[in-house]
Amino acid sequence: MKFLKVIGLVIAVVVLAVGAFYARALWCTREVALPGQYIAEGAWGTSTLDLRQDHTFRQKVSFKNQFNEKPEGSKEASGQWSDEGRSSLSRRFQLSSFVNLSPSAEQSVVQNYEAEYKTLGTSFGIEVDPGARIYYWKMK
């Protein structure tokens, strides 16, 4: 009998924890949660992305050589961002132009770039290239 009470308590705790995770993910991925300043860093360099409340944005990228870490120039993109809706526990959105950070992109600026704001481990960030594992993290 005592064993069943313990099992019931464990199940209740697990259900509450999962429910809390989903509630937090739904709350944190609302459209109004997207605006803010983000940073991405990698072997390619550093980039900041400023998503504004008025649905404008500015991206700044400083590239560096992956082997000797010497600067290799910088690029900027700016324009509009638009919400594309929720996808499960994430928020999809589109940037009117974007400096592609993928190593194979050769610093190209692309139009209508899709990104996803989602849970990344224990925090939230913007996934811009899942294949190359490039993510923007929200700055505090």
- pLDDT tens figures, 50-86: 999 999 999 999 999 888 989 988 999 999 999 888 8
3-class DSSP state for residue 59? strand
Burial, 88: exposed, middle or buried (Cβ in 10 Å; 0-12, 13-18, 19+)?
exposed
* Sequence-separated contacts (24+) of 63-67 with Cβ below 8 Å: 63/107, 66/103
pLDDT at 20 over 80: no
Per-residue pLDDT, 21: 57
Domain boundaries, the chain: 28-138
Please give the residue that has the higher pLDDT: either 62 or 121: 62
Query: Would you identify the CATH topology of the domain 28-138?
Result: Lipocalin (2.40.128)
The pTM of this model reads: 0.78
Residue 140: burial class (beta carbons within 10 Å; 0-12, 13-18, 19+): exposed
Cβ pair 103, 44 in contact under 8 A:
yes
